[in-house]
Amino acid sequence: MGFHSHRKPQIIIGVFQAWKNLKGKLLCCHYYAGLALRQSSALPDGLHERVQSALITLQRCGCLLRDLVRVRDRDVFTAVSRALVGQPGYTYRYLNTRLFTIPWHCEGEEGQKDEKEKPCCDSDLRDQEKEKKEEEEEDSGQGCSHSSPPSSTPPPDVAGLVQFNMTLINYMDPTAMTQLKEEPYYGMGKMAVGWHHDENLVPLSPVAVYSYSCPAEPKNEEKETETEEKACWRVGLKVAWDIHTPGLALPLQSGDCYYMTDDLNQTHQHCVLAGDTARFSSTHRVVQCCTGTLDYIQKRCSEALENLHTDPEKNTKSLKSLLPSTLQHIEDIHNEVEFEWLRQYWFQGRRYARFCSWWTKPMEQMEKDWKEMERMVRVMEFSNSCISAKYCPILTNHTSMESLFIQLCRPLYSSL
């Protein structure tokens, strides 16, 4: 892979000034043909103030939290604080961690309400979620809720028929991020986020990132002028598993957007290079959610509970089938609900319940469903011990295993 090269890898820096004038045209370098920049001045008037206010409000409400993730077989807390905002009922999984969306709201949408029939989110927070939804529509190039086209269009290759379904919001304060590692291959500087691909995205879908650098504390004017270029945040890109090809460090001014289009996220890795001031980023994505939505896991629960029969007269429950294959299928769903949803929610997702109740009722119901499945699994464990001829000689002369299961296990379920 060239990790022992004696020649220091190159970093592309000479194209920046020429590229800044392109205002969204694709980078004139075939190594990074899927990268596009949209300068802050190209965005619609007033959008910056509204979006930046929304980001600050999310931070003030305590929505941006560090996640516990799995990296190289170690559980570590992220240095970056994050929140997931997006389609109601959607989740995003990365580094063995599931994030639960704070739902964004559109005009006319009531959303899920709590037991007192109040909106699921604090009113101030709800307004900011609407703002993030508008920003998502602006970045997508569709403008679904606009009565007229946006005042500025994104780069041509970005403005396809794409609908982002969530945004991962990050807050990074370099003064609070201890022991930042140096970028190891190109000497790009301190990394706030190391080299990586974005996970679980729809293949070939674009990623749009809005970058907001917080104003710096007042400094001596001369020093500020000297360090201005070094102080800015940058995104670094490199060809995946290749350090011979020149890397790219793209300076980001506050309010700039950049886009990774086509297969760039698959063929390249990117990192975030720390500046001197705190920074927000809003990373809009089309996440692969076939197994990551509330609707999906609720259907899985219903599928398992179809094997449960309730007697309306006696109000007792019993199992319709005790075939090992049926019970094994239920156990698979039972494990998925427990390890992929309940444990993740009670450890990570529940942190947001104090200001957003959208997930509270669905997860309480999911826990009830899990308890029913737990009883079914216990029946399966009992039946497995009974079908062994070593412990149940009667099986050797019994003609109907299903009938025996019914005799042994159906009464047991009601007693659990």
- Number of other residues whose CB lies within 10 A of the CB of residue 186: 18
Both 298 and 371 in one domain: the answer is yes
pLDDT computed for residue 138 by the predictor = 66
Both 391 and 335 in one domain: the answer is yes
Both 322 and 376 in one domain: the answer is yes
Tokens of 237: 């890109």
Q: Say if 416 falls within a structural domain.
A: no
The model's pLDDT over 233-253, given as tens digits with 9 standing for 90+, comes to 999 999 999 999 999 999 999
> Cβ distance 23 to 39 under 8 Å?
yes
CA angle 139, 119, 287 (to 5 degrees): 35
For residues 157-185, average pLDDT: 84
Tokens of 380: 């399966």
Both 281 and 300 in one domain: the answer is no
Nearest to 371 by CA among 304, 314, 309: 304
State the Cα–Cα distance between residues 177 and 402, nearest whole angstrom: 61
CATH code assigned at 302: 1.20.58.1470
Both 277 and 308 in one domain: the answer is no
Both 35 and 60 in one domain: the answer is yes
Q: Say if 166 falls within a structural domain.
A: yes
Q: Say if 10 falls within a structural domain.
A: no
Both 197 and 55 in one domain: the answer is yes
Token pair 């004017």: residue:
221
Both 280 and 313 in one domain: the answer is no
Q: How confident is the model at residue 129 (pLDDT cuts 50, 70, 90)?
A: low
Both 166 and 34 in one domain: the answer is yes
Both 318 and 235 in one domain: the answer is no
The model's pLDDT over 138-155, given as tens digits with 9 standing for 90+, comes to 666 533 323 223 333 444
Instruction: Please name the residues in contact with 298: beta carbons below 8 A apart, sequence gap of 6 or more.
Output: 362, 366
Tokens of 340: 């992929």
- Number of other residues whose CB lies within 10 A of the CB of residue 40: 16
Both 248 and 384 in one domain: the answer is no
> Cβ distance 84 to 166 under 8 Å?
yes
Nearest to 82 by CA among 337, 351, 386, 405: 351
**Statement: residue 268 has pLDDT above 90:** yes
State the Cα–Cα distance between residues 60 and 119, nearest whole angstrom: 20
> Cβ distance 282 to 169 under 8 Å?
yes
Q: Say if 399 falls within a structural domain.
A: yes
The model's pLDDT over 26-55, given as tens digits with 9 standing for 90+, comes to 444 678 989 999 999 999 879 999 999 999
**Statement: residue 15 has pLDDT above 70:** no
Write down the pTM of the prediction. Answer: 0.78
**Strand 11-12 to 247-252 pairing:** parallel
Q: Say if 37 falls within a structural domain.
A: yes
Both 169 and 207 in one domain: the answer is yes
> Cβ distance 166 to 101 under 8 Å?
yes
Q: Say if 8 falls within a structural domain.
A: no
State the Cα–Cα distance between residues 85 and 263, nearest whole angstrom: 24
CATH code assigned at 169: 2.60.120.590
> Cβ distance 283 to 167 under 8 Å?
yes
Q: How confident is the model at residue 388 (pLDDT cuts 50, 70, 90)?
A: low
Q: Say if 350 falls within a structural domain.
A: yes
Number of domains making up the chain: 2
The whole domain housing 85 covers 17-106+161-214+231-285
> Cβ distance 62 to 291 under 8 Å?
no
Q: Say if 100 falls within a structural domain.
A: yes
